[in-house]
Structure 1
């Protein structure tokens, strides 16, 4: 039914979104611009450039050259303490059902660091990062590139995503989309299957795990 399985990374396979949110909120507050969880939810799944524009629109006086290093330092400190996998990730990756790739809005060094800390780097044939495309998620380009690298038709790819931004990208690429919401609830507008965890989503899509 599928020739490849493509995964978002943060919030889908590894439990980083809550760490990023708490580190981000702390950084905003230290600079005198406290933000709400709702504001942080709007940044989930966005690449850094897009997130930067959203932050500038909401807080034009905020010095982002101070914000991002502070935010990143706090986040990496949490990641380096250990990076747990999302429920069902271990079983789904161990099954090796199809060739697999990561499709993430993270930068290359950050993505590979997280994969290494989580101990899952060897499961994937390719890792597509934000530097690899001109148009990041929600554009379809990252998923189209992953399918190209795996030499498969995007329509024959099953995608696991947590965010609206990522699900839209995969849907627009023509992939089959399983969405497992993380910190931000979803009604699954861009998903073919809306699941509580990865294993439930896999079974909904017809994979025997």
Structure 2
């Protein structure tokens, strides 16, 4: 069977307008454990798995306690905020356009599959997706390419005709390293080598901007 084109979307900050909630969870976790949060540190964590985030914060802010307890604490803070996440502007119109132009759609996230699936169902978007690759599906999360390589293999996508959309340095690095043409939403800084790669297709102001690109066949 000929591999088909896939649209591989990041979740937090790309499909879901979740960055403010994630920032609040980060700030409260660090502050409550005696540390000092910063925008610069939060930026470096975007796209990482929860396990990696907690480990890095514990080291940076000398936070003590069992890793499992700290992970549960951080996850609870994120789950408390996630009920208020809204789909990114124009998300459903973009998903419909992707289906209409022959793309099969999956999510590739450093978060947990069950959490993402529940959010998709809550927001009436689950039927657009063939599946989710989450943190539990890989041994190395973004910026490693493994999540995207796993998606390409599991869903039999052609990397040459597929697209990835991310909102972070870690995510773009992972997607480009997996051989995918990749867009980034927003102005996050990128490694110079990644930004100069022919696979890096440019920046979008919002997810909805990809709709016109797909409909015009200018990917």
Q: TM tier, shorter chain?
A: 0.7 to 0.9
Q: Is the 8 A contact 2:106 2:132 kept in 1?
A: yes
- Cα shift readout 1:124-183 (whole Å, capped 9, x = no counterpart): 1111111111221111111111112221222221111111111111101111101102xx
Asked if 1:107 is matched to 2:112, the reply is yes
| Residue matched to 2:54 | 52
Superposed counterparts of 1:71-110, under 5 Å? 71-80=74-83, 82-95=84-97, 96=99, 97=101, 98-110=103-115
Q: Is the 8 A contact 2:26 2:37 kept in 1?
A: no
**CA-atom RMSD in angstroms:** 2.2
Q: Aligned pair count?
A: 203
Q: Is the 8 A contact 2:90 2:207 kept in 1?
A: yes
Instruction: Give ranges in structure 2 of 5+ residues lacking alignment.
Output: none
Instruction: Give ranges in structure 1 of 5+ residues lacking alignment.
Output: none
| Residue matched to 1:22 | 24
| Residue matched to 2:170 | 165
| Residue matched to 1:208 | 215
- Once the two structures are TM-superposed, the CA of residue 65 in structure 1 deviates from its matched residue by 4.9
TM-score computed with the length of structure 1 as normaliser: 0.86
Hey, what's the Cα distance between the residues in 2 that align with 1:130 and 1:107? 6
TM-score computed with the length of structure 2 as normaliser: 0.83
**Structure number with higher strand proportion:** 2
SS in 2 for 1:154: coil
Q: Flag as ranges the 4+ runs of structure 1 deviating above 6 A.
A: none
Quickly say closer, same or farther: Cα 1:77–1:50, change in 2 above 3 A. Answer: closer
Superposed counterparts of 1:139-154, under 5 Å? 139-154=144-159
Partner residue of 2:203 out of 181, 194, 205: 194
Hey, what's the Cα distance between the residues in 1 that align with 2:185 and 2:176? 14
SS in 2 for 1:146: helix
